[in-house]
Amino acid sequence: MNSETRSREEVLCEDVLREEICRVGQSLHIRGYVHATAGNISVRLKDGFLITPTDACLGTLDPARLARMDAQGLQTGGDRASKTLALHRQIYAADAQARCIIHSHSTHSVALTLQGVWSDDDIVPPITPYFVMKVGHVPLIPYHRPGDPQVALQVAARITAMAGKGTPLRAVMLDRLGPVAWPRRGQRGARGTGRNRAPVVAVQAGSSGAERSPDRRVAAPLRRHLVAGAQAHRHTAAIDGPRPVKRWRSRSAPVWPINQD
């Protein structure tokens, strides 16, 4: 589908999502979850998806330069797509409910994979209710070089296997590379306060009840998913805090308290 056959609403929706990707990237950069040119973000569109360019700093993204991919994974616009393009494509293909994807190289998350995770199926125990409810199980994906198609295939296989058990994944941890998180359709970002507030919670739609412009109304559902993605990433990368890694090395696994879907 080219720009001539796309509807005005689809174009307006995409314009808002481009701005939102840049806003989320800047927020993650300011908060220290990403640095230099590490990390990437994508958002699913009706006829493909947007993804940040390779070697781009998430703190200084340009909406017009985001890479646009069609439904077959061919680039149709913007700067050259992130080297993790195959990973994003496989997640969207494996989980039809995935709306956006955020990947970072969070320092202490990477350190945890070097020190030793809790288990290959859950990198940390269910340490907080919010981690269980908003993120759920986070398996470790064995190391391959950045952009290696094998990583994408392994993540897709994990998604399929967990879906078969009735427990859809929302995130994985790439060994020595960091977390990848994605919200699913129907998963909405929740408002918080203080340090627990989501990085981009202000973009959630309609708190005032005022009439929104057509572009914001059309894009609002996907924008909420992008907020949820930032929240899921924040919880997955929460070990960047002061809690020492060694406290989580016990292999005596408590039972997960609830179904995470």
Distances (CA, A) of 69 to 55, 79, 80, 226: 17, 11, 10, 18
Q: Cβ(198)–Cβ(230) under 8 Å?
A: yes
CA gap 117, 203 in Å, rounded = 34
Place of tokens 């909420």: 224
The maximal CA–CA distance of the chain, rounded, in angstroms, is: 58
Question: Two tokens at 66?
Answer: 């985001």
Q: Enumerate the active-site residues.
A: 130
Cβ neighbours, 10 Å, residue 47: 16
